[in-house]
Structure 1
Amino acid sequence: MECDRGPRLEMLWESCDPQQTLAQRFGFADADAVEGWLRVTLATYWDVTVESCERIVISDHNALAWLTTASGSLIAKWSAAPELFPRLSRVARLTQWLDGQGLPVSAPLPSLDGAVQVEVDGASMALQHVIDGDMLDVGDPQQVRAAGVALGELHQALGRSPAAEEPVSQRETFVPMMSRIARWLESEQPHVPKPAQQALRRLVGSAPVLDDVPQLLHGDFRSANVLCSGSSVVGVLDFEEVRFDHCVDELARSAVLLGTRFHDWGPVSPEVHAQFLAGYETVRYLSPSEQHWWDVLVLWYTLAFVPVGHDPTGWAESARNLTVGR
């Protein structure tokens, strides 16, 4: 049964006009034209009948559409950036493999010819089931701990995945962690609290060599991409930022950014950091060198998000709190 009104069109995080953006980036006159294209595309490549399209969201050169179909509630996700198409195909295959390992991911539905990422009309598209869950609430300690467990399990799986040795992006060059932080410390950061910078220098100066090997990571593990139901994680979304790095780097970055969604990014408390780490270590215990680097990286990522000028969400204060006693 079709809806009387067309799909709702919106931007995910950008402040530009969605109607103009749809035309400029994707070549569609309006949301109704997108719905018509989706009906034909899904029928042709997946044998799926679209009954209605409720919502279309634009994020950079990507778009998502929430669909009611004869096969249930689905999300069509496509990109209009051809340079990303090879990467998106690799990510889709990786997500499908993770689903086969029992991880809570949104696996792509194979097309009629078995492809998990389909190129059509200048776009690269994947089709997924809608996961019934809400974005991670960092005010819920059980969800935070469950998120830590989920990241630990994800790291273990990614470390043994068939894509573990596959280059994720030709544009990526791995830079050692020490070099990244040293470069940041050498740059001018007058807006960052000096005592916190000094504490970071001391931590880096005494940091041991990491005893693990960089591996494949999710790349953007935070509230916007973690769906929960009750105290359980039911979906880890958006593997498009998958990258190679040390596990403790993603663990610390995710802890710092765990509460962020699409707007007004702000820090979480040290208690949330600790809950998240405790969950992670039920799956993958940190070595002594990783434990030291956890402290380094949590402070560094917090400092890196201190804005120039007005700091409405309190990143500078969060950094000061992390350096008490150091």
Structure 2
Amino acid sequence: MTRTPHLTMLWEQHDPAVQLRDRFGFPDAAAAGDWVARSVERHWGVRVEACERITMSSRNALAALRTPLGPLIAKWSVASDVFPRLSALATLTSWLERQRLPVSAPVAAVDGRLQVELDGTSIGLQRRIDGDLLDTADPAQLRAAGAVLARLHRALAAYPDAGRVADLVPHPKTPGTSIAGWLADAPGHLPDPACDVLRRLLSSAPGMTLPGQLVHGDIRSANVLCAESGVAAVLDFEEMRWDRPVVELARSAVLLGTRFRDWGPVGTDVHTALLEGYCSERPLDGVETHWWRVLVLWYSLLMIPDGPDPTGWRAAALRLSGAAPAALP
């Protein structure tokens, strides 16, 4: 193998060489690249011509590889407590690909495993999917992302082994309980008018009788690759949880513009375009419609920092609370 990989942090402001040593136990980039190349050749039978880049986030790492099969991505974790979940999610993602969902499915190892545990890590291999991060200024991409999210929710609801995954992922409280508890002790830096609107919406909300199911957990621009006006792939299922689809839809609408180091709000036109695409595949019922309005405002308020607000989350929440809710198609 040639070329020492370039080291980067996905979003943290740390020295990547230090983190590679302290978190992953490699003395330098060359040693990490050699380990990845040897692991891929041994377990997948694929020769690595170059490990071009290693990107780290928390206790996870991703290596961009050049191989005779084309560009591949090796992802590994040293967080042993999540190894069973990573294995279950690899199986689920492979199943989603067979349902014709646009996902980055794992490449099976020589022995058939989709996630391999070795040297204190859990590692998987994927093909690189060409595309650009979702552009929230492109209405066609937004509608396409909404439609794919609806299809993903429908597929996840039908996953045959959902019970196994459900035992391994977080189960948040129902939104009514979560929001009521949060409002009872809302941080003092939040705008009172927007909090008052949220209280009124919550008080008139119907009971959340909708069943929970598996949801992606982290739909945002950084995890949606697009090609022209369509979705090429939904990435990174590691944050999967058990929740209501409308909760994920609302959270995704608010956070859709966030990337790795850019956490600014989007406008209600973006919310509406995502919602239109979603409803083209899975229309919301009356209960979900009300909760969509509650949840979009709540998630917007949650993002307001206690201190400088350079991207304008406070102004966005105030506009949202004072404007008519996004219209349903």
Report the TM-score when normalising by structure 1. Answer: 0.97
Distance in 2 (alpha carbons) for counterparts of 1:157 and 1:282: 16
AA aligned opposite 2:152: L
Distance in 1 (alpha carbons) for counterparts of 2:35 and 2:99: 34
Distance in 2 (alpha carbons) for counterparts of 1:218 and 1:267: 20
For the 8 Å contact 2:171–2:242, the answer to whether it is kept is: no
Matched residues, percent identical?
53
3-state SS of 2:114 partner: coil
For the 8 Å contact 2:85–2:165, the answer to whether it is kept is: no
Distance in 2 (alpha carbons) for counterparts of 1:188 and 1:271: 27
Counterpart for residue 320 of structure 1: 318
CA deviation digits over 1:31-70, x for unaligned, max 9? 1101111121111100000000111000100000000001
Structural mapping, 1:91-106, within 5 Å: 91-106=89-104
AA aligned opposite 2:130: D
CA deviation digits over 1:183-209, x for unaligned, max 9? 110114111110000000000000002
For the 8 Å contact 2:265–2:311, the answer to whether it is kept is: yes
3-state SS of 1:9 partner: strand
Q: CA deviation at 1:73?
A: 0.5
Structural mapping, 1:201-216, within 5 Å: 201-216=199-214
- Give the alignment's Cα RMSD to 1 decimal: 1.2
For the 8 Å contact 2:176–2:208, the answer to whether it is kept is: no
Distance in 2 (alpha carbons) for counterparts of 1:38 and 1:235: 24
**2:108 matched to 1:110?**
yes
Unmatched runs of 5 consecutive residues or more in structure 2: 325-329
Counterpart for residue 306 of structure 2: 308
AA aligned opposite 2:35: W
Provide closer, same or farther for how the CA distance between residues 257 and 187 of structure 1 changes in structure 2, counting only shifts above 3 A.
same
Between 1:148-157 and 1:159-168, the stretch displaced more is 159-168
Provide closer, same or farther for how the CA distance between residues 98 and 228 of structure 1 changes in structure 2, counting only shifts above 3 A.
same
Counterpart for residue 117 of structure 2: 119
Between 1:112-121 and 1:173-182, the stretch displaced more is 173-182
CA deviation digits over 1:112-158, x for unaligned, max 9? 11000000111100000000100000011110111001100100000
Distance in 1 (alpha carbons) for counterparts of 2:101 and 2:171: 28
Q: CA deviation at 1:167?
A: 4.3
Q: 1:275 aligns with which of 266, 273, 276?
A: 273
For the 8 Å contact 1:87–1:169, the answer to whether it is kept is: no
Distance in 2 (alpha carbons) for counterparts of 1:24 and 1:141: 43
**2:67 matched to 1:76?**
no
Counterpart for residue 241 of structure 1: 239
Counterpart for residue 154 of structure 1: 152
AA aligned opposite 1:276: L
Q: CA deviation at 1:282?
A: 0.4
Distance in 2 (alpha carbons) for counterparts of 1:325 and 1:124: 47
Counterpart for residue 291 of structure 1: 289
Q: CA deviation at 1:171?
A: 7.1
Distance in 2 (alpha carbons) for counterparts of 1:95 and 1:293: 29
For the 8 Å contact 2:61–2:75, the answer to whether it is kept is: yes
Q: CA deviation at 1:173?
A: 4.2
Report the TM-score when normalising by structure 2. Answer: 0.96
Distance in 2 (alpha carbons) for counterparts of 1:57 and 1:267: 26
Between 1:131-140 and 1:33-42, the stretch displaced more is 33-42
Q: CA deviation at 1:260?
A: 0.4
Counterpart for residue 264 of structure 1: 262
Distance in 2 (alpha carbons) for counterparts of 1:325 and 1:24: 49
For the 8 Å contact 1:87–1:168, the answer to whether it is kept is: no
Distance in 1 (alpha carbons) for counterparts of 2:37 and 2:101: 30
Between 1:182-191 and 1:167-176, the stretch displaced more is 167-176
Distance in 1 (alpha carbons) for counterparts of 2:138 and 2:219: 17
AA aligned opposite 1:52: A
Counterpart for residue 137 of structure 1: 135
3-state SS of 1:323 partner: helix
**2:228 matched to 1:224?**
no
- Runs of 4+ deviating beyond 6 Å: none
Distance in 2 (alpha carbons) for counterparts of 1:171 and 1:47: 32
Counterpart for residue 327 of structure 2: none
Structural mapping, 1:185-204, within 5 Å: 185-204=183-202
Q: CA deviation at 1:169?
A: 5.1
Distance in 2 (alpha carbons) for counterparts of 1:96 and 1:59: 24
For the 8 Å contact 2:217–2:240, the answer to whether it is kept is: yes
**2:263 matched to 1:251?**
no
AA aligned opposite 1:285: P
For the 8 Å contact 1:155–1:217, the answer to whether it is kept is: yes
